[in-house]
Amino acid sequence: MKRAKGFLTSRGMITVLWVLGIVVIWEIGAFYIGQVKRTPENVLPHIYQIIESVFSTKAVSSGQTALQVVLTSAGATLTRAGIGFLIGMACGFILALLMSLFHMVEKIAFPYLMIIQMIPILGMAPIVLAITHDIGLSRIVIAAVLTFYPVSANTLAGFKSVEKEKHDLMYLCAANKFQVYTKTMIPSCVPYFFTGLKISAPMAVTASILVDTLQGDGGMGCMLSQSLKHAMSIMVFWQLIFFSALIGILSFYLMGLIERLVLRHKPARELRAKEEAE
């Protein structure tokens, strides 16, 4: 009995319940739409229809199957999102480092960081596109800009969270500034840095998809808006919806995974050494 209860409240079980709940609600909706709409696929298809389309070999657009269309467009978008993410990550970290090293830099740069963060992507994207004249480059820039702030702000918070005693310790060891950063400050901010990455990774993906919609040049966002208009390729639309949601979630977990690999030292507290050994 106790075990059954433990299983029902476990994290895995909760996830399963959530997925089941969504599937049930989705299917009820799809069933209803099927009754009242002439082209229900455009509003809400059944989940099995979407899954079926993934494995379908029927060409839907210029000789490609639905899945091929999805993967090609995703490749175009996600590589740009990934490059932008890496650039934003590097710049964010370097700026945080500079802000931590020089108080003046923080005073000058931080307000601008906040402002950049406040501009909606949809407002910023056309400007970036107008400047760069290249949709691929725009995707990179927008993903980088969005990644930049969470990484920078969190990393800076990490630098500031270092205990006063650790600074005292470094001072008493007569450590130079380089040693203070490499031995104490940078390792201390790693968890904060990853918090920033976890926030910005799904954002970078979303932003790149949004940027796609500005210009018909492949890419997931572009395909989303095009495929919705044709009955032939409507399943491409639904596949893209699921695929982008999946990528967003996976990007978050990927960051968590990398963090765990980097911070291998975090053992479970239960591993406490025996007190008797003292």
Partner 1 sequence: MSANNVEIMLKDIGMVYQADGKEVPALTGVSLTIQKGEFISLLGPSGCGKTTLLRIVANLLQPTSGEIQIEGNTTRAARLQRKYGMVFQNPVLYDWRTVGKNVELPLEIMKIKKEDRKARVKSMLELVGLSKFSEHYPQQLSGGMQQRVGIARALAIRPEILLMDEPFSALDEFTKEKLHEDLLRIWSKTNKTVLFVTHNIAEAVFLSDRVCVLSPHPGRLSAVVDITLPRPRIKEVRDTTEFTTLVAKVRGSFEGV
Q: Using CB under 8 A as the criterion, which residues of the chain lie in contact with partner 1 when the complex forms?
A: 163, 165-166, 168-175, 179, 183-184, 187, 190, 263, 265-267, 269, 271-273, 275, 277-278
Pick the closest to residue 90 from 82, 100, 102, 79 (CA basis).
Answer: 82
Q: How far is the CB of 275 from partner 1 (least distance, A)?
A: 5
Residues in a beta bridge with 64: 61
Least distance between partner 1 and beta carbon 12 (Å): 27
- What minimum distance in Å lies between the beta carbon of 154 and partner 1? 18
Beta carbons of 95 and 109 less than 8 angstroms apart: yes
43 or 186, CB closer to partner 1? Answer: 186
Name the residue nearer to partner 1 (CB basis): 163 or 217: 163
Rank residues 8 and 258 by Cβ distance to partner 1 and give the closer one: 258
Q: Which is nearer to partner 1, 46 or 166 (CB)?
A: 166
**In the complex with partner 1, which residue's Cβ is closer, 1 or 277?**
277
180-to-145, 167, 177 alpha-carbon distances in Å: 29, 8, 5
The C-alpha atoms of residue 207 and residue 148 are separated, in whole angstroms, by 13
100-129: b or e for each residue (b if 16 or more CB lie within 10 Å)? beeeeebeebeeebeeeeeeebeebbeebb
Give the H/E segment covering residue 251: helix 234-262
Q: What is the largest CA-CA distance in the chain?
A: 78
Q: Rounded to the nearest whole angstrom, what is the least distance from the CB of residue 190 to partner 1 in the complex?
A: 8
Cβ of residue 120: shortest distance to partner 1, in angstroms?
38
